[in-house]
A and B are shown apart, each in its own frame.
Chain A
Amino acid sequence: MKEFTQRKFYRPYVSPFDPCPPIRVKSYETPPELYLGFQPPGLPQYKPHQALFCGTLWPVLFSPYEKSYTRGDET
């Protein structure tokens, strides 16, 4: 079982005749609500102050979004 990630990568088909330099690896977001199902009670919570910053009380629902230029090849 691989480690859970909120960003998946794939290698799109690249044609030998593509006019622009190909981006060999692309990515897409798979945020945590895709996986949680009906949220069970009693999950770990952030401290109130931290929760205000994060936008959620529960770490399991926190979805950081990094800058988009790390989505493909460059990282």
Chain B
Amino acid sequence: MWIYEKKLQYPVRVSTCNPMLARFLIEQYGGADGELSAALRYLNQRYSIPDEVIGLLTDIGTEEFAHLEMIATMVYKLTKDATPDQMKAAGLGDHYVNHDNALFYHNASGVPWTASYIQAKGDPIADLYEDIAAEEKARATYQWIIDMSDDPDLNDGLRFLREREVVHSQRFREAVEILKEERDKKKYF
């Protein structure tokens, strides 16, 4: 089970009304390498991985939901007061006709989230390597969003999220090292 704290992991500030940015940010909400994919991937893989790695997947998967909430807050702030005309001008006209100003799990191109973005292979090495790759791809996505954004307050939050991808990747790499060690070896004879 989870305990919810009604606050964000890191403060989200948005300084300019810029619905166009929301369109780019939604990639990290419902995109293949986004926070939803990450959270669901890790929390699902943990059942079939050696016990010493389960806690790591639980912790990181939980933190990804905290990141998802930050992205949602950013997107919401950027669009909540946008008029239909502003939405259309920002390239969000097709989003508006389907969702009004609601958030939805799709990527920057409007493709809805799908479970085929994530995998649970059952092989611990294969799963952890997917997790490392996912963190690096998410880090890269944050870089490209920051490149496209001219909102310093928003970028502050995005830089925090990018740093967390770096740390998570490191922890997954350490998990691989743990699994590589020769311990608890099957005793034959």
CB A62 to nearest CB in B, in angstroms, measures 17
Decide yes or no whether B176 CB sits under 8 A from chain A: yes
Contact B123 A10 (CB under 8 A): no
Shortest B55–chain A CB gap in Å is 12
Smallest CB-CB separation from B47: which chain A residue?
A12
Instruction: Report yes or no: B182 in contact with A8, Cβ–Cβ below 8 A.
Output: yes
A75 and B186 contacting across the interface, CB-CB below 8 Å: yes
Tell me what chain A mostly uses at the interface: helix, strand, loop, or mixed: loop
Count A-B contacts at CB 8 Å.
45
Asked if B184 and A9 sit within 8 Å, CB to CB, the answer is: yes
Kindly provide the distance from the CB of A48 to the nearest chain B CB, expressed in whole angstroms: 30
- Decide yes or no: A29 and B186 within 8 Å by CB, A8-B179, A10-B50 being known contacts: no
Cβ contacts under 8 Å, B180 to chain A:
30, 34-35
Q: Which of B51, B123, B186, B188 contacts A12 (CB 8 A)?
A: B51
Pairs of residues from A and B, 6 with the lowest C-beta to C-beta distance, nearest first: A2-B182, A9-B186, A10-B50, A28-B124, A10-B184, A30-B180
Chain A positions near chain B (C-beta within 8 angstroms): 1-5, 8-13, 25-31, 34-35, 75
29 contacts between A and B (CB under 8 A): A1-B182, A2-B182, A2-B185, A4-B182, A5-B182, A5-B185, A8-B179, A8-B183, A8-B185, A9-B185, A9-B186, A10-B51, A10-B52, A10-B184, A12-B50, A12-B51, A13-B51, A27-B186, A28-B125, A28-B179, A29-B123, A30-B125, A30-B179, A30-B180, A31-B125, A34-B125, A34-B176, A34-B180, A35-B180
